[in-house]
Structure 1
Amino acid sequence: MDKKEIKRQAHNLALVCAKKYKIAFPKLVLDYLLKKYPDLNENKKEILAIAFEECKKVNKLTDEKINKKIEETFMDEDQELKKAIKIEIIKNALEYSKADPTKIVGKIISKFPNKKNQIKQIMQIAIEQAKEINQLSKEELNQIAKDLNVQITKKESRLEQPQKIKLPNAEYGKVITRFPPEPSGYLHIGHAKAIFLDYLAAKEYGGKMLLRFDDTNPEKEKQEYVDKILQELNWLGIKIDQEPTYSSDYMIRFYEFAKKMIKKQKAYVCNCDSEKIKENRIKKIECECRKKSIEQNLEEFEKMISGQYQEGEVVLRYVGDMNSENTTLRDPTLFRIIKTPHYRQKEKYSCWPSYDFCAPILDSIEGVTHAMRSKEYELRDELYFSILDCLELRKPILISFSRLAIKGMPVSKRLINPLIEQKKVSGYDDPRLPTLAALRRRGILPKAIEEFVTSFGLTKVESEPNLDKLLSINKKLIDPSAKRRFFVSFPYAILKLKNKARNLEIKNHPTNELGKRTLKIKENATIYIPLLDAANLNEGEVFRLKDFCSLKVKKKTPTKIEFFDKKADSYILEVEEIELENVEKKIQWVDEANSTKVEVLVAKELFIDEKYNENSLEVIEGFAEKEVLNDNLKERFQFERFGFVILDKKYTDKLSYIFICK
């Protein structure tokens, strides 16, 4: 603390002391200063001299002057406190895209230790400031920060830092990874993590990533999912180094490997029903079918291949270890009968291999060096290598990573499909879902998804982040190219202007060269403004319509308004235009004569505590400036003072947007 500040504090303490005891005591002032600032003990004599000097000044004042100075001093302190809170809120908003008032209280107390007993009041001020600041655009925030001389040291969130992918025993130029989706549904954010880990790891080591469709379950797989996966990989910017492969194209080789296992007495045909197999596995009981001869097993397996068995009648099982604590080793199924025609192979095959059989074999024969898969498969690693040992095939390196799910957004088809069937969500591209189709429709860029998913690296630590972290990354990417548009939501208030007709040239972006648009304002215009802003305006108060004019409220009258089929309480404000540029309160607006109806779909958490959230989709209606009628579908914009949106659909009577983020 510098000498000037010590004098100020000593003077204020002397005033309080004089008011309480009718005289200012230097010793009391000294004791309080040393208690409040222990570091001052090193200069105790100098501090005492300052205390004497300030007490001497105060003791010359009359009671009236002392009271007046105390009132002025603490009024100044309150203003100083509010300014400090505002500065910290602005810093927090610029650093994290959205101000969190709980994060700044500690900093304020460290600056104003005498306010420790006023934490509730400080928090209330911070909440009010954050509410106001979070309504502003990034450009407005930067301008306020500049006006208040706020110094921002921008810190990139640890989450947003892409981590380099390090592979064990990797030789540059020889690394081969693979992404093996089953074409039974749409890709989601968890798949995106696997895709980018495989793809970027291969690039990091000068290798390549293979795309393999794991399509050996005819009951679930469709060509439409193959096509959709290829489209979404292309959208993500993934360039596959060679034509995709299909597990179902290897059926003849799979049969050969199965026969090799039978000849080694490592596989047998089991005729038990599924319940019996399940019971024996739980009880660690070896099946009697294990005792069949090699010849009998080969004969029965040929019958399986030629289609002589019905579904559920027989399976080919691996001779594992029925006493193993790892349940995947208790004689797992290698082949089963499925009569459903295959989307690609039609009715050519009915004896289909399991994932546990296909995955290790194809990873080996396709040359994969590093096979990455989510942690849920870790129990199957032992079986993976056991099958390769049995068939004397090369072993890739297996790497596990944690699954990625977003809080409140289910990735499981088991949860999503019933919602689609019940029409609780509109489809796989419903903006409340974490599918890539939904994220794309919601205005999320591929680069944002890449940065988000790779920030978790190859760690096995489970995580379920909320969507805010992805939205924060996305906002930084879309902000520079998002044109600005005026929007006011229902319910709104009505301004009656007495103005001359004029044309306003409005920039499409406050800092970047994205062109301009002209708003033609008619004489005596009717203007819509947000109802909350109107509610906070008093008669005689001055405010400014953003990029337009300054106004003074002459009269404020309660009224009722109708918005198509809706009604609400509102206000009509009669205002007069005044010549004043530097007005602190700025309000967003839309001109009635130059407006069009729009709706904004706001997606919220689809599941709360694992239950469907009936209020997961909010529809906000209102008016936007008519320029939006010329905008392109799938283009991203910022509705000023509202948030970033993407134009989703054009109807005859309105435009429909999806909310991206604040």
Structure 2
Amino acid sequence: MDDDLRERVEREAEKHALLNAVKHESDADVGAIMGPLMGENPEFRQHGGEIPGLIGPVVAKVNQLSADEKRERIGELAPEELAEMEAEEEEDDQLLPDLPNADDYDEIRMRAAPNPNGPWHMGHARMPAVIGTYKDMYDGSFIVRFDDTDPETKRPDLSAYDAILDDIAFLGFEPDDVIRASDRVETYYDYARDLIEKGGAYTCSCSGEEFSNLKNDGKPCPHRDKDIETTLDEFEAMVDGEYNSGEMVLRVKTDIEHKNPALRDWVAFRMIDTPHPRPEAEDYRAWPMLDFQSGVDDHLTGVTHIIRGIDLQDSAKRQQFVYDYFGWEYPEVLHWGHVQLDAYDVKMSTSTIKELIDAGELDGWDDPRAPTIQSVRRRGIRGQAIVDAMVELGMSTSDVDLAMSSVYANNRDLVDDEANRYFFVRDVAEGASADSQTVSGPSEAFAVEGGPADAHPPLHPDHEDRGTRTIPVEGSVLLESGDVPAEGERVWLKGFGAVRREDDTLVATGDDLDVVREGDVPVIHWAPEDGVPVRLRTMDGDVTGVAEPDFGDLPVDELVQFERVGFARVDSKGDDETVTYFAHK
């Protein structure tokens, strides 16, 4: 093999080794690159016996480079292949499908349309997580529209408006516009009048049972063909509140013989006697139904793409009749299944959670047992951890299961590096069984003899620059019952050293760390008996115990990792105890 060919082989081998290493995020392998190398350079094949020995040192040299250095070198040798690989990586990283016909719109505009009848449970997080992600993908707009035009069956909670916006901010998104449908009732009235004048709606005083029988038989309501002036007059009487609940509705005129009875002459407005809780809307009595209100608002706010549950497919079909009357183009629609959540005994339902709070079975929306965004936020779980888990669910039209373990794993990646470590010795849980996953049982106190007066474990094992904690060893220390050694046995008090139990005393042995490495001595956490009293609130009940002294200096909202217990957020500090909320292992 001449020198020119040798140089070409080495250059091509370097390129393929780099591509292989970066693509698989591992060291390159001679065997793995032989196929592509020979395939692109058939003239090398006659030298097949020499090639492996020639490219081995090249591959070894590539494997010594850092990941950034490998990418930089590919950019020099094969910029087109690098660009193609990065495009493939970006496509692989995209968990959400492309929006349909996105190129047909100057701007992608999407909306979340919460009913503010209470703060959000975890299932509600999926909509802003996905819409916010699409907004970033397309540089579009994210609208929040409170669909609060039902003051009776889904009565708005005045505190929920701000609570929901707080939840959206916690998830990491800022709406481009916030709308309250109850501020726009006059607009809905105007469009109802226009629809009547187009012959697309009529007032109906049939009872619910009467109309249901007619609808199911495919027969028209006797009021269907009344003249436009009469319908307008009766609608104005509705607006003026001259009818009681159930006496009069406004129906959209569709196809009375439509194969789907749910689409036949559906109700657009109804009378509600219960005043709206917002003072700005308390005088209205004629309220639009959701399909009318939402359809009008989606058009007026320029929504291009709607995401809704697969169970709401009829909504688009109902609204299409209104859009046809006005000559509007209906937005693109994506459907998905419901999210089902594990790890909670409480049903993921706003009404159920509210009932439990009212009954005193939950302390509030942020009770750790409640499957709410406020609850996980109070536990120290980041909004990004929830968003990532929701986006990972994709857009399946089937119901999907969200495992809280995936949220916890995401959160662990976000907080592990910044959460300093502390010892917390748990006692019996209040309201939880001793065999709970977060409960070890009663702690026991032991005097310590020998060794240094203080222990100095690191604040974080990966960040020596943060320094150490100081834990006094004089006096008695607490051990969890599961860690108490038998008489004459040894344990390693983390940050202090090996001790042997002699009656009610732990005597320092002077052993070095080899006894731990050899597996003879278990490593345990501990705390001074006069340390900081702590209450750890968990999904299984409250756990009481004692933490090391330095923990008492931490501010509220600090997130820590209690070693061998899990991550926890400092919630409040009092003279008697510090209250923390358990996040996860």
Superposed pair shares fold, TM > 0.5: yes
Runs (4+) off by over 6 Å: none
Q: Deviations over 1:195-248 (max 9, x none)?
A: 12222212212221222222212341244221112222222221223x422223
Matches within 5 A, 1:598-609: 598-603=534-539
CA distance in 2, matches of 1:173, 1:548: 65
Q: Distance in 2 between matches of 1:545 and 1:176?
A: 58
8 Å CA contact 1:637, 1:645 repeated in 2: yes
Whether the 8 Å contact between 1:600 and 1:619 is mirrored in structure 2 is yes
Cα distance in 2 for residues equivalent to 1:338 and 1:289: 21
* Residues 203 and 581 of structure 1: CA distance in aligned 2, closer, same or farther (over 3 Å): closer
User: CA, structure 1 residues 419+222, in 2 after alignment: closer, same or farther (shift >3 Å)?
Assistant: closer
Aligned with 1:484: secondary structure? strand
Matched, 1:526 2:459: no
What is the aligned partner in structure 1 of residue 115 from structure 2?
182
Conservation of the 8 A alpha-carbon contact between 2:480 and 2:526: no
Note the alpha carbon deviations across 1:264-291, whole angstroms, 9 max, x for none. Answer: 3332212123344445545555433324
Which residue is equivalent to 1:445? 382
Q: Look at both structures and tell me which one has the larger radius of gyration over its CA atoms.
A: 1
In the comparison of the two structures, how many residue pairs are matched? 470
Secondary structure, in 3 states, of the residue corresponding to 1:167?
coil
The 3 A distance-change label for structure 1 pair 462 and 551 is same
SS of the counterpart of 1:395?
Answer: coil
Contact 2:145 2:180 in 1 (8 A): yes
Q: 1:188 to 1:304 in 2, by over 3 A?
A: same
Does 2:183 match 1:249? yes
Within a 5 Å distance, the mapping from 1:239-388 to structure 2 comes to 239-241=174-176, 243-282=177-216, 284-339=218-273, 340-343=275-278, 345-388=280-323
Contact 2:471 2:549 in 1 (8 A): no
Query: Are 2:524 and 1:588 aligned?
Result: yes
Question: Shift in Å at residue 343 of structure 1?
Answer: 0.7
Counterpart amino acid of residue 564 in structure 2: R
Name the SS of the counterpart of 2:110 in structure 1. strand
How much has 1:462 moved relative to structure 2?
1.2
How many angstroms does 1:378 deviate by?
A: 1.4
Aligned to 2:24: none
Q: Which moved more, 1:449-458 or 1:255-264?
A: 255-264
Cα deviations by residue, 1:367-424 (Å, 9 ceiling, x for unpaired) = 1111222222113221121221122222211111222231245232232121111111
Q: Does the Cα contact within 8 Å between 1:488 and 1:588 map onto a contact in 2?
A: no
Choose the corresponding residue for 1:199, options 105, 121, 132: 132
CA contact (8 A) 2:451 2:508 kept: no
Structure 1 residue 440 displacement after superposition: 0.7
**1:471 alignment partner AA:** Y
Q: Matches of 1:278 and 1:439 in 2, distance apart?
A: 44
Q: 1:546 to 1:374 in 2, by over 3 A?
A: same
Residue identity matched to 2:184: Y
Residues in 2 aligned to 1:591 and 1:410: alpha-carbon distance in whole angstroms: 38
The TM-score with structure 1 as length reference comes to 0.67
Show CA shifts across 1:120-177 (max 9, x none): xxxxxxxxxxxxxxxxxxxxxxxxxxxxxxxxxxxxxxxx966144101102752111
Query: 1:516 — aligned with what?
Result: 467
- Report how far residue 513 of structure 1 moved: 5.1
Deviates more, 1:215-224 or 1:452-461: 215-224
- Spell out the pairing of 1:153-232 with structure 2 (5 A cutoff): 163-171=95-103, 173-219=106-152, 220-232=155-167
AA matched with 1:426: D
Shift of residue 658, structure 1, vs aligned partner: 1.6
- Name the aligned partner's letter for residue 168 of structure 1: P
Give the alignment's TM-score, normalised by structure 2. Answer: 0.75
1:646 partner amino acid: R
1:574 to 1:249, Cα distance in 2 relative to 1, 3 A: closer
Question: Which residues of structure 2 form unaligned runs of 5+?
Answer: 1-91, 428-441
Q: Secondary structure at the match of 1:481?
A: coil
User: Aligned partners of 2:563 and 2:316: how far apart in 1?
Assistant: 53
Q: 1:321 to 1:352 in 2, by over 3 A?
A: same
Distance 2:507 2:348 in 1: 53
Could you tell me which amino acid in structure 1 is paired with residue 146 of structure 2? F
Q: Which residue of 2 aligns with 1:641?
A: 564
Q: Deviations over 1:309-364 (max 9, x none)?
A: 12222111222334444343032211112240451523442211011101121111
1:454 counterpart letter in structure 2 = V
- Paired residue for 1:15? none
CA deviation profile, 1:494-523 (whole Å, cap 9, x unmatched): 322223662333321110257234425254
Q: Supply the AA of the counterpart residue of 1:630.
A: D
Partner of 1:493: 444
Determine the structure 1 residue equivalent to 2:413: 476
Aligned to 2:579, the other structure's residue is in SS state strand
Q: Is the 8 A contact 1:183 1:222 kept in 2?
A: yes
* Structure 2 CA distance for aligned equivalents of residues 229 and 647 of structure 1: 24
- Report if aligned partners of 1:420, 1:426 keep a CA contact under 8 Å in 2: yes
> Does the residue aligned with 1:497 lie in a helix, a strand or coil?
strand
Is structure 2 residue 402 aligned with structure 1 residue 456? no
Q: Report the aligned-residue RMSD.
A: 2.4
In the alignment, the residues of structure 1 paired with residue 408 and residue 148 of structure 2 have an alpha-carbon distance, to the nearest angstrom, of: 34
Question: Do the aligned partners of 1:482 and 1:638 also contact (CA within 8 Å) in 2?
Answer: yes
SS in 2 for 1:303: helix
Deviation of 1:455 (Å) = 0.7
Give the match for residue 542 of structure 2. 619
- CA, structure 1 residues 176+288, in 2 after alignment: closer, same or farther (shift >3 Å)? same
Match of 1:652? 575
Amino acid in the other structure paired with 1:345: E
Q: How does 1:527-546 map to 2 (within 5 A)?
A: 527-534=477-484, 537-546=485-494
Contact 2:121 2:371 in 1 (8 A): yes
**Counterpart AA for 2:524:** Q
2:158, 2:277 within 8 Å by CA — same for their partners in 1?
A: no
Q: Partner letter of residue 235 of structure 1?
A: F
2:47 paired residue number? none
**Letter of the aligned partner of 1:374 in structure 2?**
G
Aligned 8 A contact 1:495 1:575 in 2: no
SS in 2 for 1:356: helix
Question: Contact (CA 8 Å) 1:498, 1:577: kept in 2 or not?
Answer: no
Hey, what's the Cα distance between the residues in 2 that align with 1:346 and 1:336?
15
**Mapped pair 1:553 → 2:501:** yes
